[in-house]
Structure formats: C-alpha cells, structure tokens
Amino acid sequence: MADRLSIGTQYEKMIEEIDSVDMLNLKTNGGRADIFIIAMALGVNKGIRTQSKAKHGFILETSAKNKDSFMSFIYSVAVDELRKNGQENQIVDNNVVYNIAEEYANTGFEIIKEMIPDFSKYDEEDFEFELIEMMDEIIQQ
C-alpha cells in the first residue's frame, strides 16, 4: 500500500529550483503539498496524464492527510478519472488513486517547465499573470 505521493525523478531538479525562488511563496507557506496540488491542477486542466519512468517520493501520506482539502482534491480527481472507465470501485486502492494524482502532477510540472524555462529569470508577477490568464480562459468557456 502506498505511503507517499511521488513525482517523476526528472522533476527533482525543478523542485529544487522552485524552492530556490520560493515560487508563489509555496516553500515558505505551503510546502510540497501546495506545489504538488498546483501541478496536479495544471495537469487536470490539460487533461493529460504523464507516467513516470522512475519515481521519487515527494510527500508522505501522513503529511498529505494533515493538509486541509489536499486528500479531497486527490480523491475527487481520481474518482472522476475512474468513472470514465467504470472503475469507481478502485477508489479504495491508494496505489491507483495516488498514481492518477502523480501522473497529472507530472504533466503539471511539464507545464510549469514550459512557463518558466529558466528559473534564474523567474518573475513572480509574470508567472502569476500567466496563471490568471489560464483561469480566465477556463471561466470564459
């Protein structure tokens, strides 16, 4: 049974860069759980799941469960995904649920990489405006 949420090992360096610039004050105020949820939301918005070739443990399950609404987001995405194939009964399998969340987060990390290709030139305000534009597009649909 899974005891942590993971990300693809190819994103480890990017996580260090996100921490080094304290992107959106996530390191200071929210930590890894918030980074994971933002990445997962970006992946869900794109509708693509990216499998990991190798995984790196990212958030302990106990930490995730102590974060307000974190597990609600994870399970709501997973049940929606499982319903697409009539596999709702797998919602009780943490390995399946966490894998769905991890794959969407991997896609989200790819999106972040596209948005911020060089963290040495990271501009918080520009990044925030890009995220707001994405939300505006969703709302206008």
Is 70 exceeded by the pLDDT of residue 1? no
Asked whether 29 and 72 are in contact (CB, 8 A), the reply is no
Task: Give SS3 for 57.
Answer: strand
Q: What pLDDT is stored for residue 109 in this prediction?
A: 96
**Strand ranges for the chain from DSSP E:** 4-8, 55-60
User: Does the global pTM surpass 0.75?
Assistant: yes
Contacts by 126-135, CB closer than 8 A, 24 or more apart: 127/23, 127/24, 128/24, 134/42, 134/45
* 90 φ, ψ (degrees, to nearest 5): -80, 0
* pLDDT at res. 68: 82
